[in-house]
Structure formats: C-alpha cells, structure tokens
Chain A
Amino acid sequence: MSEPATPDPEADALFEIVRQRYGDRLTPEQLDEVRKIVQAQVEAARALRAMRLTNADEPMQPFAPYRAEP
C-alpha cells in the first residue's frame, strides 16, 4: 500500500478507523483507493468547516413528533 503524497494526520487517523473495521476484507489496492476517498472526504469537510454559521442556523431536516392517530 502506497503512502499519500503529502501527510495529512486527520485523513490518516480517519483512514485508520476504516482500516481497523474493514481492512481484513480489502486488498492493498482497495485500501489504497479507500485512503484516497477518505482524503477527498476530509477536504470536502474542511470546505464546510470553513463556513461560519450562526447559532440560529438549524439543520434543514424534516422532523415531527409522532403520535399514532386516533
């Protein structure tokens, strides 16, 4: 398995979680691919983290309390 071109401790740590969980079912080539995908995910997350939000900016998700009728 090859090392990433530029060390990224966060991506490395997150990749290690994946490797611990699923490494026994993946080939070295697949693990290489997974490492690249994790790196891309981390970069996407950084783009989100760079955005400032206010306390009032809620998740845009549907949720409603449930009560069976009648």
Chain B
Amino acid sequence: MKADVLFTPLRELGGLLRTRKLLPVELAELFLDRLERLGPRYNAVVTVMRDHALSQARRAEGDIAAGRYRGPLHGIPYGAKDLLATAGAPTTWGAAPYKDQRFDFDATVIRKLEEAGAVLVAKLAMIELAGGMGYRQPTASFTGPCINPWDANAWTGGSSSGSGAAVAAGLVPFAIGSETWGSILSPAGYCGLAGLRPTYGRVSRHGAMALCWSLDKLGPLAQTADDCGLVLGAIAGPDPRDPTASDRPYRYDAADRKGFRFGLITNVTDGCEDAVAENFTRSLGVLRKMGTVEEVTLPDLPYEQITRIILQVEAASAFEDLIESGGIAELTAPEDRHTPYARDAILAKDYVKATRLRGVMAREIDRVLGSFDALVAPGRINEAPVLGQEFRSAIRATAKDVMGAVGNGAGLPAVCVPNGFGARGLPTSIQFMGRAWEENTILAAARAYQSLTDWHTRHPRVG
C-alpha cells in the first residue's frame, strides 16, 4: 500500500477503487493502522472500529468486484464525530457522564453512508457536549485536548476536533462533524481542511446528539471542496425520523462555473490577526479572477445576541436533566461545571424575541445574498489557539463572528477552504456563505478558488 493515497481527493480515491487498482480492505487496513498508531498522538480518536470496518470493507470489495458499484464513496473509509449513534460502539458525546453510553441503532447519516458503500473506521473525539456548556479551553473533552497535526502545541479547534485532526493527519479520508455555531468551520479552518456546513435541514440529524434543535447541522470535513460535495450528495435528503430534514431534492453538481458575484461585508477583517487579514486580502485577488467582489453593509441587527441566546436556551433545555441533577460536575472543563446554571436567568420573553428577530435576520440576509453567489470572509479570525490557553469565542461574546452568527442563526450553508499560513505556520482559511439550499453554488466557488491555489495540497508532516 502506498502512503501517497493518504491525502488523495475522494474522487480520485474512488476512481482507484472502482477500477480495482486499490482494494477496500487494504485501504481500510491502511487507515485503521494509522488510527491505532497515530490517533493517540492527537487525542483524535475515541473508538477504532476495526472489526466493523473490515466487515464493511470486505462487503465493498465483493460488491465492486461483482460490478455492484454504488458510487464515489464506495469502499472509502471515514470517521464520525462521536455524537452520532452507532450500533456496536459507544457514543460518548465527548463527555465523561456519557462515556459508556450505547445506542442500538445507527444515526441516519451513518446509515446513508453505509448505503453509499463508505466504511466507518472510527468514532472521533469532540468537545464535551459539542461545546454547548460554554467551554473556553481546548481541554474540554474527556479524551483530552485535540492536538493540531500542524503543530503539537496548537489546538484543532472545536467542537468537531477529532474530525479535524484525523482528516488533517491522514487518519481518515473524510469525517463527519456537526456545527451549531462554528464546530465544522473552526476545526476545518484551523487544520487546513475543507469543511462544509450544509443548510439547516439539508441533512437529517436523527441519531445525532441534540444540542440546539434549531441550530444543529451535520456536514463533512475533507481535503477539498469537491470532497465535501461528494459526501453531501450521499448524506443529504429527507428523513421521516427528523421532521426538520427537508424534502428538497439535492444532487451534487460538480460542473465548473464562471462569473461569480462575491459580497464582502464592510470591515469583515476587523479583529483578525494580521496574517489572517493579509491572506484574505490576497484571496480577494484570486476571487477577482473568478468574478466580481463588491463591498456590502449588513443591516444593523444584534446578530450575535440573537443566535447566542437561542443557543444558550436550547442547550440548557436539551441537557436539563444533566444540569438539574448536578451531573455537569463530572464534565472535564471547570467552566462547564457552572456556566449552564446561569441560563436559568434568561427570560422566556427574551428568548422568544430572539426567535422573532431571527426571522427578520433571515429575511434581511437573504435579501442581501440575493445579489451575490456568496458572502466571503476569513474562515477564522486567527490561527489555531495555543494548547493550555483560553481562546476567544463569539458564543461567549469574547470575539466577534457576524458571519457565524448570521450563518448559523439563519441556517445558511458555508464552506471553508485553506488560503495560506499565519505567523506561527498554521493554516488560515476563507469561507463562502450562500443563500439557503445553495450548497452547489458555494461549493462551485470554493472549487474554483482551489483550482487557482494550491494550499489544499499542503499537508502536515505526520509520519
């Protein structure tokens, strides 16, 4: 087995499997070995599913040999954030109180990927309870802080931390993460990956830990935007077990597009590290080769407060039992042991006001986006935070993240891809955010950007 398939884009990897130049079992063995050998180095893995994976890989190998090819993910290994229910393995939600939790069914996303022939090789580490208790440090997981493959002193971001580390280190070709506010784009951006946050309702959440019913989304982290589209094509769709899963049809369209119209929010780089702002400015030069870039001012609304209050209230309700019982005292991060109590002090009328303003926000941003294919911004305001230090967060109001507040509050899709390196040699990123249900448009823009740059071809030295 050649190590050069480790960072091979899914379309190419799938081609090798389809033509039997590569066999699913040997590919699964390669990634299982890496997960077992290197996973602990990054605190990236909760459970390696060797037996399950080899069983799925053998089935894929037989099916492909018999001409029953299921599509571009057939035979490709992947990892799942450990908030997705999987029969036959613990589902820990990254939290000590749930470390022995088991479900007897597979989440819809897991089932859909099995139908596509993908091979589940590992459950991946995450921030406890997807960060919904107010964490402010990388250590907030019972499996320890996830270490960034680009720098052993840096964090991966969260809460889909293991998903970011595992893909960046070549431990899996792609991973599934979840985002309530920033949990896909943060680890993808900090680890130099493509990360796709689909439109709310595009992907069924059945079997996923509920943090905030009206904010949770599931999506892929992978090497390229095209990879993300291929995965979304497999996991999108209606589901009678999730009433918010939309019956809008989705088919990934990988056709090239030209003449993009990009919107740039005024002062969007305010608060960014210098290198992040410089890299973004250079990215704008690339975007101008792809189309137009026009500055736009958003209506004056309390975007971050709207999304933050909805998140805080829904998370407090979702984990009411754990909080009321005092079970949060078992959580790893000290701040997660008391922060949730404060949410009893959010008034119901203020929460309802947030949900009413959310409608205003959604209509206003859709009106703005109606003139563009995507709004663009830095994926993150900084390079990956240093391990052992508190980080800034829009959820705690210690950093600004209007794109994240609007995108998650209004349920809009966004994709981030790497766009350079910062002062500490860690990846920086650019994000493309589109109108609801316009994943194909933002993916086309991100693919076009990646066709003109080579940041996604650079990988950390892992071994």
Contact = CB atoms under 8 A, between A and B. Distances in A.
Do A and B form a real pair? yes
- Interface majority SS (helix, strand, loop, mixed), chain A: helix
Contacts of A38: 342, 345
A60 B356 contact: yes
A14 B134 CA distance: 19
A60 B362 contact: yes
Contacts, number: 96
B345 A17 contact: yes
A5 interface: no
B345 A15 contact: yes
A34 B360 CA distance: 31
Interface string B304-319: 0110110010000000
B285 interface: no
Contacts of B309: 41, 44-45, 48
Query: How extensive is the interface on chain A, given as a class?
Result: 20 to 34
B352 interface: yes
Contact of A48 (B344, B354, B397): B354
* Binding site secondary structure of chain B: helix
Contacts of B346: 41, 45
Contact of B341 (A18, A57, A60, A64): A18
B330 to A, nearest CB: 13
Contact of B353 (A18, A31, A48): A48
A34 B344 CA distance: 11
Contacts of B356: 53, 57-60
A56 B341 CA distance: 33
A48 B350 contact: yes
B326 interface: yes
A41 B308 CA distance: 9
Given A14-B345, A21-B344, A30 B358 contact: no
Interface residues of B, number: 37
A30 B337 contact: yes
A33 B339 CA distance: 8
A57 B347 contact: no
B301 interface: yes
B355 interface: yes
Interface in A11-57: 14-15, 17-18, 21-22, 25-26, 30-31, 33-34, 37-38, 40-42, 44-45, 47-51, 53, 57
Contacts of B306: 48
A61 B350 contact: no
A62 interface: yes
Contacts of A22: 341, 344
Contact of A64 (B243, B343, B359): B243
Contacts of A49: 350, 353
Nearest to B353: A48
Interface string B332-372: 00010111011111110010111111111010000000000
A18 B362 contact: no
B440 interface: no
B269 interface: no
A13 to B, nearest CB: 9
Interface in B203-250: 214, 243-244
Given A37-B134, A45-B347, A48-B306, A25 B359 contact: no
A30 B243 CA distance: 39
Nearest to B344: A18
A41 to B, nearest CB: 5
A26 B342 contact: no
B339 A61 contact: no
B338 A57 contact: no
Contact of B359 (A15, A33, A42, A57): A57
B359 A58 contact: yes
Contacts of A14: 345, 347
Contacts of B343: 41
A4 to B, nearest CB: 14
B291 interface: no
A59 B243 contact: no
Contacts of B305: 44-45, 47-48
B345 A44 contact: no
Contacts of B301: 51
Contacts of B335: 33
A44 B350 CA distance: 9
Interface of B: 134, 214, 243-244, 301-302, 305-306, 308-309, 312, 326, 329, 335, 337-339, 341-347, 350, 352-360, 362, 396-397
Given A18-B344, A22-B341, 17 more contacts: A15-B345, A25-B329, A30-B337, A34-B338, A38-B342, A41-B312, A41-B343, A45-B309, A47-B302, A48-B306, A48-B354, A53-B360, A57-B359, A58-B356, A58-B359, A60-B362, A61-B355
5 contacts: A30-B337, A30-B338, A37-B134, A50-B302, A57-B357
